[in-house]
Structure 1
Amino acid sequence: MKKKGLLTLIVIGIVLLGWLGVRLLGRPAPQELVAHGLERLNGAASFRYSMTEHQWIDGKERTLTQIQGEKDGGNSHISGQLVGSNVDMILAGGAFYNQDPFSKKWVRFVNTPGAEKVFLAELDPLSSLQLKELGEVVLKGQEKLGGVPVWVCQLRPTVQDQVMEEFWQDFAYTLYIRKSDGMIVKAAIEAKSKAKSEVMHLTLQFADFGQKFKIQPPNV
C-alpha cells in the first residue's frame, strides 16, 4: 500500500511538473511580443478604431474624447465628440475637411499640416503608440476580449509624440495582443499631467484590419 501511495504521488508530481512546464514554455517573451505587436499594427494598411479619453479635471472625471474612426493608408475619417462638441472630420487626398456641427456644411482647411497636427491623435491613433523605448515589459497573463483570446502586457515606455511628452509624464501602457496573429487590438494608456499631476486615461481599440474603407473628399 505504501509503494502504491508513493507511486501515485510520483505520478501526480510528474503531471503537475508537466503542466507547469507547458504553462511556462507556452508563454511568449514579453518584450518580443510587444515589439512584434507594434510592428504589425504600424504595418496595417487599414483598420477601424475607437478612441475614448478621460481626464481628471478639478477633482472630477470628464470624458474629453469619444470617437469612431477609419484609417485607410493616408486617409482618415472620424466622427463623435471632442470636448463636448460633435465632430465629423475627413483627411483625404492631402486635404483636411471639417463639418460644421450646425450648418452641416463641410469646410476645407488650406493649412492641412497645421490641422493635422492639432488633431493628430484623433486622425492617426498610432501616434500614441510610437515609442522611443519600451522599458520593462511584463506579461500579466491572458484573457478574452470580445470572445477573442489575447495576451495582456504592461509597460512603462518613453513616447515619441511631442505633444504627449510635453504635457504628460509617468506613462503606463496596457496592450492587448491577439494570440492568433500577434496583432494589438486594444491599448489602455494612463499618464499624469506635468502641470497638476491629474490623471489621463486613453483607450484605443482596433478592428477590421485590411478592410477597404471609402474615405473620399466631401462636397464642399
Structure 2
Amino acid sequence: MRRKIIFGGTVVLVLLLAAAGIFTFLRQPDPQQMVMLGLENISKADSFAYSLTQKQAVQGQERLLSMISGYKSGENIHLQGQLAGSEVEMIKIGEVLYNKDPFSKEWIKFDDISVAQRVFLVELDPLATLQLKEIGEVMPSGEEVVNGKKCRVYTLKPSIQNQMIERFWTDFEYKLFITKSTKTVSKAEVKAKNKETGEPMTIVLEFKEIGKKISIQPSENTR
C-alpha cells in the first residue's frame, strides 16, 4: 500500500511539473513579434542615452574602430568619443551643428549642415544599426539582466538596411536584449565578418534613460 501511495504521488508530481512546463511555454510571447515590437519601441523613443562600441580583428589582433557615447532628445543630439583613432564631439540642435575641434578644443558652429555632415551623423546614429530589411528566423535565448532590468534575449540573422555597414561586412548575427516591462530593446550585440578577409567584427550597443527628459544645449565657447 505504501509503495502504491509513493508511486501515485510521484506520478502526480511529474504531471504537475509537466503541466507547469507547458503553461510556461505557452505564456512565452511570439519571438518574432517581440523583436519587431522591441525595435519599433526604441526607434519611436523621443529620448535616450546610448553607448556604441565597434571592434574588428586585423590579422588576429582585436582593434577598436569606434567607441561613442551620446544623448538624443527629439531631433537634438550630443555625441562624443573615439572614431578611427580620433577624438570626436558634436552637438546638433535643430539644423545647427556644433563641432569640437580635437586640436584647439574650440567649438565651431555650422548654421547649415552640409550633406557630408548629415551623412556622417546618420552613420553615427545608433538606431541605424537596428534598421533591418528582414528579421528572418528568431530564436529565444533565455533571459538576462541589463542595467538592473530583466530582459528577454533573442538571436537572429537578419538582412540589414545600413548600407555603410553592409558594404564591408557580411554574415550578420544579432543578439537583442528586450526589457520585459517596456518591451523595448535595451542592448544589442552584433557579430559579422569582413567581406574580404573573413575576420570578425563586433558592435555592442546599449540604451539607457529611455523616454526620460534629457536637455541638450550648445557649448558657450563657440566661434
Q: Distance in 1 between matches of 2:113 and 2:5?
A: 83
Q: Is this contact kept in 1: 2:95–2:113, CA < 8 A?
A: no
Q: Tell me which residue corresponds to 1:94.
A: 95
| 2:115 aligned with 1:113 | yes
Letter in 2 for 1:120: V
Structure 2 unaligned spans of 5+: none
1:17 aligns with 2:18: yes
SS of the residue corresponding to residue 23 of structure 1 reads helix
Q: Which amino acid letter does the alignment assign opposite residue 112 of structure 1?
A: S
Identity between Structure 1 and Structure 2 (%): 41
Question: Aligned with 2:197: secondary structure?
Answer: coil
Q: In 1, distance between residues paired with 2:215 and 2:141? A: 38
Maintained 8 Å contact 1:96/1:112: no
Matched-pair contact (CA < 8 Å) for 1:94–1:112:
no
CA deviation map 1:151-172 (0-9, x unaligned): 0000000111111122111111
Give the equivalent residue in structure 1 for 2:64: 63
Give the letter for the 1:213 counterpart. Answer: I
**2:75 is the alignment partner of 1:83:** no
Matched residue SS, 2:196: coil
Distance (Å, rounded) in 1 between the aligned partners of 2:109 and 2:164: 24
Aligned-partner SS, 2:80: strand
Structure 1 equivalent of residue 151 of structure 2:
150
TM-score (norm 2): 0.92
* 1:121-173 Cα deviation digits (max 9, x unpaired): 32x21011011100111011112223321100000001111111221111110
Does structure 1 retain, via aligned residues, the 8 Å contact 2:66–2:84?
yes
Q: How far apart in 2 are the matches of 1:22 and 1:40?
A: 28
Q: Is contact 1:97-1:107 (8 Å) kept? A: yes
Does the 8 A contact of 2:171 with 2:193 survive in 1?
yes
Contact 1:93 1:217 in 2 (8 A): no
Task: Supply the RMSD in Å over aligned alpha carbons.
Answer: 1.5
Where 1:20 maps in the other structure, the secondary structure is helix
Aligned counterparts of 2:98 and 2:195: Cα–Cα separation in 1: 32
Match of 1:7 in 2: 8
Residues 103-182 of structure 1 aligned to structure 2 (within 5 Å): 103-109=104-110, 110-122=112-124, 124-182=125-183
Does the 8 A contact of 1:54 with 1:200 survive in 2? yes
Q: Unpaired segments of 5 or more residues in structure 1?
A: none
Question: 1:50 aligned to 2:51?
Answer: yes
Answer whether contact 1:95 1:112 (CA < 8 A) is retained.
no
Please say if residues 66 and 82 of structure 1, whose CA atoms lie closer than 8 Å, have aligned partners that are also in contact: yes
The secondary structure found in structure 1 opposite 2:139 is strand
Give deviations 1:153-212, integer Å, cap 9, x for gaps.
000001111111221111110000001121110000111111222211011100101222
Alignment of structure 1 residues 174-193 onto 2, 5 Å: 174-193=175-194
Deviates further, 99-108 or 170-179: 99-108
Q: Would you say 1:36 and 2:18 are equivalent positions?
A: no
Whole-angstrom distance in 1 between the partners of 2:154 and 2:163? 24
Number of residue equivalences: 219
* DSSP 3-state at the match of 1:211: coil
Moved more, 152-161 or 89-98: 89-98
TM-score, normalised by the number of residues in structure 1: 0.93
User: Which sits farther off after the overlay, 81-90 or 198-207?
Assistant: 81-90
